[in-house]
Structure 1
Amino acid sequence: MSPVQQALTYKYPRVFWIMCLGAMSFFLSFNIILPELAQELRSKGGAAYVGWIIPAFSFSALIARPFSGWITDNLGRRWAMIGGCLFCIIAGCFYPLVTTAMGFLIVRAIHGFSTGFTPTGFTAFTADVVAESHRGRAMGWQGMFNNLGTTIGYAVGAIIALYFGVNILYYTSAALASLAWLLFMSLPETRTKSNRKEFVFNINNLFYFPAWRPSFIMFLVCISLGSILTVMADFTLEMGYTNKGLFLSIYIGVSLLFRLLSGRVSDALGRAWSTAIGTAAQVLSMAILVYMSICLEHSHQTHCNTCELPGLIWFASSAILYGIGQGFNAPSLFAWASDTADNHHRGRALAMLFMLLELGIISGGLTANYFIQGTSWNYVGIFALSGSAFFIALGFSLYCLRYKHQK
């Protein structure tokens, strides 16, 4: 049977689809509240700390990663999945109770532990239950469900808050996390029986070095994600668009479409081929944003009323290219990290990948603060830095192709 025929006839296990539904509900649970968090923090007197909404969440996730890898490998995939859901449920119930900015950020940090545990567990579960020859496509499906949860969350969160109030939104988040918990509880444990190892803080528990190549690329491509989450809403408004989530909506939608295609490319040609395609698309995306930023800066400096800013075609093209890049990069990097480890060490390999993901987001979000000019952002510097990171990731992917440091 040819590879094409095998791809068409392969049947994913039923438990894989249950896991995907649980992952979608999990991502929906913590993304549904994102549109309202900045305003909520301002209402509690924390306007000066709005920039810490993303880092507070990501720092906690980063702290949890080494533990999640150990739990996934030694206690089981389900323990990691359901443990993260419990943090989501607790946070969703406590958000309505806090009345100060500090209390809000503490709950936000508690919430961040959820993504430190659950994704490590269900990504290892996917690698366990799907044949290696279809792992890239499976990661694509998993990523598609994750993105569906994210997209739906962005779309309906503000609507729920508008018509029912923000407290109902928080309780909805907790209910969705509870649904994910129930779905994950119904899954079988796939961890291979082995002698449990006591968790010890050392370099080998923090990092699984065979997975350093996909982890390094993950760090580079997530720098821009941290920057975009920080500044894109303001940039969108300055470009004349009232929908602050326009860029995010376009890129996530495009990413959904390309994840399944990228999985096939990853399985057929190799992981580094897929990341090379993805990072090349994102280099072009950042180049367009730099051009648009230069035009915007010129308009501000000259107070030119007749100068036209680049239109929606330029803006949408950048978002589309960014989405193509995300669609190719994410499934391939998760599959690549899974390829580097056997069943006993897969949790640690994925934990390392997620740690570098969080470090990239944190780095991008915090370094964006160095590109402030008065009361506005230096968008040229921010997007140029992100483009440079993508260019390095592209070069490293090509290096891995040249020397066959990949599947």
Structure 2
Amino acid sequence: MSSIGAVSPGVAEPMIPTQRRLTLLCLAALTIMSGATVAPSLPALEAHFAQHENIALLSRLILSLPALMIALCAPLAGLISDRYGRRRLLIMAVSIYTLAGASTLLQDSLEGLLASRILLGIAVAGTMTSVSALVGDYFSPAQRQVYMSQQGAFISLGGVVCLMAGGLLADIHWRAPFAIYAVAILLIPAVLRYLPEPSRNTAHQMRSGAKKETPYWPAFALLLGAAMFNSLAFFLIPTQLPFLLQELGIDTPSLAGIAIATSNLVGALASLTLYPRARDHLGKTGVFALGFAVMAFGMGLIAGAESLYAVMIATAIYGAGMGTLIPHIFATGLESAAPTLRGRISGALAASVFIGQFLSPLVSQPWIDRFGLASGFSAASCALIVFAGLALTLHWLKPKPSMEMNLQ
């Protein structure tokens, strides 16, 4: 097997084929598609299953249950990826993703719907972990930073497309958006053609100078915490914003999709433009401080919004912070990973991201039931301000050199 991604000192970095880059980008977009596609359907889905006890929470779990399975399965997927290969796991995961996602069109019970979402989460765990590890395998550090900004933009734009399409289909029927999942099967031929299995943990790699280092674990634990909380806050938007819009008299699913998609669209622009500049000028902890602060401002504006236009401005501001932070989290994590650990590091990051998504409705719904929807967004804004302050404090403290690869 070829040693993909290993570059000897003084040798020019190999160009990454465009087809390989586009295949990875499309695969990465499947993660946002797993939730964004059906977000506009939630109010209609809740009304359809209104006879079920605790349907307010269960309807939110339709969106967040896959996140629990990703959080539980991503570390195992990372181990499998490191030991048995990225591509084999990826093909199996994309196949399950297609079947589980589209099978919802045939489900006639809430229990069956929840079961299909569990399978979808397992599939996303394998997909996301394999893709992240392949990015670490294929790209040099400099190439990886550029790719991560592109991936952040592509995922956000994919969210825009899925939300818009999901909203339009939800206007027809709440089940219709689930048909979008079937398009994932089209990516398997591209995986087979453009994503060769990299060699890892071989004598050739050791001779070629591949780094054998482990992350500075306290700093990596902070990174995992930041990833989890970022997702916990973000998931308020797809799970709760459609209901906030209903309170404002806006109950058309396509309009809810547009409002949510606004954050993704601005997030795409931020990933391409704001993130590279912020990382160059602010350092790693500075980007965390900026991202959390901007998100806090946007979340606070959502809480006070009284019209669709105001909500869209607020979600746009939130998206600017989110688009800056998400690629930064994964780029920072992969920088700390030796080739033999990339699958497991990617799995840990995926688990943190999606446990935050799963916890979001469990944390927010009891608060919202007691204090109201606007109060839930206000509380999230306050918590984001706290995280921005912690990141700024770390930035001022000038972390030790041993922490620099993760934090400074």
**Same fold by TM (over 0.5)?**
yes
Amino acid across the alignment from 1:389: A
Distance between the aligned counterparts of 1:159 and 1:234, measured in 2? Answer: 17
Matched residue of 1:341: which SS?
A: coil
Distance between the aligned counterparts of 1:283 and 1:10, measured in 2? Answer: 40
Instruction: Note closer, same or farther for the CA distance 1:399–1:344 as it changes in structure 2 (3 Å cut).
Output: farther
Matched residue of 2:339: which SS?
A: coil
Q: Which residue of 2 aligns with 1:296?
A: none
Amino acid across the alignment from 2:299: M
Distance between the aligned counterparts of 2:16 and 2:116, measured in 1? Answer: 38
When normalised by structure 2's length, the TM-score is 0.80
Shift of 1:385: 2.5
Shift of 1:72: 2.2
Residue 102 (1) aligns with residue 111 (2): yes
Amino acid across the alignment from 1:391: I
The answer to whether the 8 Å contact 1:68/1:117 transfers is yes
Q: Which residue of 2 aligns with 1:368?
A: 364
The answer to whether the 8 Å contact 1:56/1:109 transfers is yes
Instruction: Note closer, same or farther for the CA distance 1:21–1:59 as it changes in structure 2 (3 Å cut).
Output: closer
When normalised by structure 1's length, the TM-score is 0.80
Q: Which residue of 2 aligns with 1:19?
A: 24
The answer to whether the 8 Å contact 1:280/1:394 transfers is yes
Instruction: Note closer, same or farther for the CA distance 1:132–1:153 as it changes in structure 2 (3 Å cut).
Output: same
Matched residue of 1:190: which SS?
A: coil
Amino acid across the alignment from 2:197: E
Shift of 1:209: 6.2
Q: 1:254-265 residue pairs with structure 2 within 5 A? A: 254-265=266-277
Q: Deviations over 1:335-390 (max 9, x none)?
A: 0111111111112112111111112222221111212447xx62343123312331
The answer to whether the 8 Å contact 2:86/2:197 transfers is yes
Shift of 1:253: 0.8
Shift of 1:132: 0.4
Distance between the aligned counterparts of 1:159 and 1:126, measured in 2? Answer: 34
Q: Which residue of 2 aligns with 1:190?
A: 198
* Number of residue pairs matched by the alignment: 367
Which runs of no fewer than 5 residues in structure 2 stay unpaired? Answer: 1-12, 204-215
Distance between the aligned counterparts of 2:34 and 2:312, measured in 1? Answer: 28
Shift of 1:281: 0.5
Amino acid across the alignment from 1:329: L
The answer to whether the 8 Å contact 2:164/2:258 transfers is no
The answer to whether the 8 Å contact 1:133/1:267 transfers is no
Q: Which residue of 1 aligns with 2:148?
A: 139
Q: Which residue of 1 aligns with 2:398?
A: 403
Amino acid across the alignment from 1:124: A
RMSD between aligned residues: 3.0
Matched residue of 1:345: which SS?
A: helix
Distance between the aligned counterparts of 1:77 and 1:238, measured in 2? Answer: 46
The answer to whether the 8 Å contact 2:303/2:374 transfers is yes
Instruction: Note closer, same or farther for the CA distance 1:398–1:161 as it changes in structure 2 (3 Å cut).
Output: closer
Amino acid across the alignment from 2:380: S
Q: Which residue of 1 aligns with 2:311?
A: 315
Matched residue of 1:344: which SS?
A: helix
Q: Which residue of 2 aligns with 1:354?
A: 350
Instruction: Note closer, same or farther for the CA distance 1:284–1:33 as it changes in structure 2 (3 Å cut).
Output: closer
Question: Which segment is superposed worse, 248-257 or 107-116?
Answer: 107-116
Q: Which residue of 1 aligns with 2:292?
A: 279
The answer to whether the 8 Å contact 1:60/1:116 transfers is yes
Instruction: Note closer, same or farther for the CA distance 1:267–1:90 as it changes in structure 2 (3 Å cut).
Output: same
The answer to whether the 8 Å contact 2:27/2:131 transfers is no
Shift of 1:274: 1.9
Distance between the aligned counterparts of 1:92 and 1:271, measured in 2? Answer: 36
Matched residue of 1:188: which SS?
A: coil
Question: Which segment is superposed worse, 378-387 or 227-236?
Answer: 378-387
Shift of 1:246: 3.8
Question: Which segment is superposed worse, 237-246 or 64-73?
Answer: 237-246
Matched residue of 2:196: which SS?
A: coil
Amino acid across the alignment from 2:300: A
Distance between the aligned counterparts of 2:144 and 2:394, measured in 1? Answer: 20
Q: Which residue of 1 aligns with 2:226?
A: 217
Amino acid across the alignment from 2:149: G
Instruction: Note closer, same or farther for the CA distance 1:66–1:22 as it changes in structure 2 (3 Å cut).
Output: closer
Q: 1:109-120 residue pairs with structure 2 within 5 A? A: 109-120=118-129
Distance between the aligned counterparts of 1:318 and 1:255, measured in 2? Answer: 12
Identity fraction in percent? 20
Matched residue of 2:256: which SS?
A: coil
Residue 343 (1) aligns with residue 339 (2): yes
Distance between the aligned counterparts of 1:239 and 1:166, measured in 2? Answer: 21
Residue 247 (1) aligns with residue 259 (2): yes
Amino acid across the alignment from 2:297: L
Q: 1:299-310 residue pairs with structure 2 within 5 A? A: 309=306
Distance between the aligned counterparts of 1:212 and 1:337, measured in 2? Answer: 10
Amino acid across the alignment from 1:256: A
Distance between the aligned counterparts of 1:230 and 1:140, measured in 2? Answer: 26
Shift of 1:147: 2.1
The answer to whether the 8 Å contact 2:166/2:257 transfers is no
